[in-house]
Amino acid sequence: MDIRPLAELRAAADLSLAFNPYGLGGRMRPEEAAEFQQRQNADCDLTAGAAAGTRDSFERLRTVFAYGVLCYDVYTIVSDQALLIYEQALRDRFMEWCGGTITFRVPQAPDVSYSVTSYDDVKRCANRMMRQRAKLAVGTHDIEFNGILHGLRLWARTAGLLRGRRSRAAEEALAKLRNHVAHPSSHHVDTPVGAARTVRDLAELINQLWGRATPDGRLYPAPLHREIAVLSWNSAGRTRMEPADALTAADSMEDQEDDEYQHVVVRAIPFIPGSRWNDEHWAEFDTRYETTQFPTEYLWGPGTRTEARTWLEHERPEGDSVDFTDRVFLVQEHERVLPPMQPAVAAGLPDNERVGIWHTVRADLPEDAFVHVRGSRDRSTGHARRPGDCPACSAEVLGSGSHDEALRAAAAALGTDPSHAATFRPAPFLHLLARPAVSRLPHASEVGACAIED
Ligand SMILES: [Zn+2]
């Protein structure tokens, strides 16, 4: 190889300077590029609880990333290394989880436990037990465990350390990349953008493994804050969303009272310009179907602005935080696929509306559940029809059949019986994304009259 002088090694790489805050284009000065690239993952710190070995590997990765400005190949090496640390983190977490003892369930024989002091011990036991078709005990479950990445991922999900349906699909993609890195079949080059994202994803995954969700995270987001909001609409189909404060603030009423508008009070993700959590479908809010992207909780209405203010001043509801991942939905298929429902709403339906086939699906967003059920009507699409993770999308099938059977599947998944919280929410049928469904809600007095007492 050519021996290069120190001055040349210290010089910024041309290609690295071409990446700027706006993507590829104008060249940055080396000083700017060095700062810009380090800022890409400056804020993704690991939780103090993460294993020391995993933390050290991650910090080394971040240190090396900064040198990408001098050597473009560093970005590819960083990405490859991040995927290996993915497996290291799972191993380290496994060792903490097992506390030195792993137990296998052997067919037609008593359970077998082993003491393990290193992950090499775990792999040896796993190999021996696989040959006897024994399964690893994870709480009340038992899983096939081969000790390598596939088994570790299954373990982390079964042990409840990783959550979210969309993140599961991302884990699947990471595992494929990881296998490619370990057994490369072709040359690949990563960009600073790709490498920075892989490092961020890795930080989220490590933090989640050790119990910390990521505020504003892409894979394992922390619960979202909801505030009290007022939705209103008029007969022309115009819709508005405003914070409850706008109604209760002093002398805000006189000039805004508008008989033409109907109002409902909800708990919802506040609309913040530029936020990735803005609900694009807030205006399609419906009390029967889950038509908004994030959980929007019906509190009162509909009624006039004055009635809404009176209710708010009397009840003083407060905001909360909500985890939108891993939700359980019921989807009714009767002539066509209807939008997803909350189990408690489905449990409150009158008998004549329980017709058709019902599907119980776990998904992060209602549209994921809907797309899965609609897709599963056509076998060629590859969507799962039996309980388990769907290979074609991020949904998990929990069960299907009659209204009763689907509710039982929901109860098993939730650990509580949705019938105990049954609420009948009268609203007419609507197509997914049809708007404005809320405008056809009955008046508040009728909603109260229709509520079912358990
Ligand atoms: Zn699917």
What is the model's pLDDT at position 281?
85
And the tokens for 432?
């997914």
pLDDT on residue 451: 29
Find the 406 Cα to ligand 1 centroid distance in Å.
Answer: 17
Residue 200 has what pLDDT? Answer: 92
CA–centroid distance, 420 to ligand 1, in Å, is: 29
Please tell me the distance between residue 110's alpha carbon and the centre of ligand 1 in angstroms. 38
SS (H, E, C) 381-420: HCCCCCCEECCCCCCEEEEEECHHHHHHHHHHHHCCCHHH
User: What pLDDT does 257 receive?
Assistant: 57
Whole-number pLDDT of residue 259: 63
**Alpha carbon of 182 to ligand 1 centroid (Å):** 29
Q: Say how many Å lie between the CA of residue 98 and the centre of ligand 1.
A: 33
pLDDT for 287 equals: 85
> If you measure from the C-alpha of residue 384 to the centroid of ligand 1, how many angstroms do you get, rounded to a whole number?
6
In the reported structure, the alpha carbon of residue 332 is separated from the centroid of ligand 1 by a whole-number distance in angstroms of 16
Tokens of 437: 């469904």
Ligand 1 centroid vs 346 CA: distance in angstroms? 22
* pLDDT value for 42: 79
Residue 116: φ, ψ to 5°: -130, 135
- pLDDT at position 103, please? 97
How close is the Cα of 289 to the center of ligand 1, in Å?
Answer: 20
Cα–ligand 1 centroid distance for 392 (angstroms):
5
From ligand 1's centre to the CA of 334, what distance in Å? 19
Burial label, 228 (beta-carbon count in 10 A; 0-12, 13-18, 19+): buried
One-letter amino acid for residue 428 of the chain: P
The CA 67 to ligand 1 mean position distance, Å, reads: 42
Contacts of 86 (CB under 8 A, 6+ apart): 174, 178, 202, 205
| Contact between residue 281 and residue 288 where contact means Cβ atoms under 8 Å apart | no
Enumerate residues with CB within 5 Å of ligand 1 (an ion).
Answer: 372, 383, 390, 392-393, 395
What pLDDT, on a 0 to 100 scale, did the predictor assign at position 452?
A: 27
Q: How far apart are CA 286 and CA 65, in angstroms?
A: 47
pLDDT by position in tens, the chain (length 454): 888 888 888 888 877 887 776 666 677 888 888 888 888 887 889 999 999 999 999 999 999 998 988 898 999 999 889 989 999 999 999 999 999 999 999 999 999 999 999 999 999 999 999 999 999 999 999 999 999 999 999 999 999 999 999 999 889 888 888 877 777 766 677 888 888 999 999 999 999 999 999 999 999 999 999 999 999 888 777 788 899 998 877 555 554 556 678 889 999 998 888 888 988 888 888 888 998 999 999 999 888 999 999 999 999 999 999 999 999 999 999 989 999 999 999 999 999 999 999 999 999 999 999 999 999 999 899 999 999 999 999 999 999 999 999 999 999 999 988 888 777 665 533 322 333 343 333 333 333 322 222 2
- Residue 304, by phi and psi: left (phi above 0), alpha (psi -120 to 50) or beta? beta
Cβ atoms within 10 Å of 434's Cβ, excluding its own? 12
At residue 441, what are phi and psi to the nearest 5 degrees? -70, 150
Q: What's the CA gap between 119 and 137, in Å, rounded?
A: 17
